Structure 1
């Protein structure tokens, strides 16, 4: 609901400090896969009726999952990834890797002009609402109030 509220507030309120760009971070691949079921193609927003009927036409969101190279939207973008995809790669020049020492570093994959590194694409937004999914702790008895 926070995503929908933020999106429409930014869209319709002239001085809104909210965002139409979102980053949902999963703590690991297992949680990412669970979230993917809901957020892929905006399924959760359609099935849960989170968007009022009169505003559905105004909901222009692009959904980008980790590993995808889809263009971002000029209206709204929702990224879903796991935390490990956001770390800067370590540059140890392969010192600890015998394959790297023998063959040299792996070449960068060729990308199209709009296919940028995920982190660079996220950083390019003027504003961004970040949601760190820690809901997997909900059933942890040690965290009960």
Structure 2
């Protein structure tokens, strides 16, 4: 049995009967519409520039903290997320837990081969300089 969120094929298949196979989560579709409206209002080039600026600020902060990025060379730096290496003997899961418990700041943990070795700071989406400073 195949799973889907919404399928035009499913809707078309029963359209002639006047029925529908399921009710889509219209609130998610409305949320998508609102997100697309925000993107259109700011403009893609402005969004890309903002993410680039915020990512650069995060990378400068990481350097000021005396930590290193997981991406060793600038060609691998991302404008969407930065993975920061923790010092030897520190579990990054504890950094993530403390950031949230003490400062109500959500960080991502390391995944797969870097689990426990990095924490991640996202700088993508509805984010501005003040939010990154927090």
TM-score normalised by length of structure 2: 0.22
Q: Which has the higher contact order (CA 8 A, sep 6+)?
A: 1
Bigger share in strand: 1
TM-score normalised by length of structure 1: 0.20
Bigger share in helix: 2
In terms of Rg, which structure is larger?
2
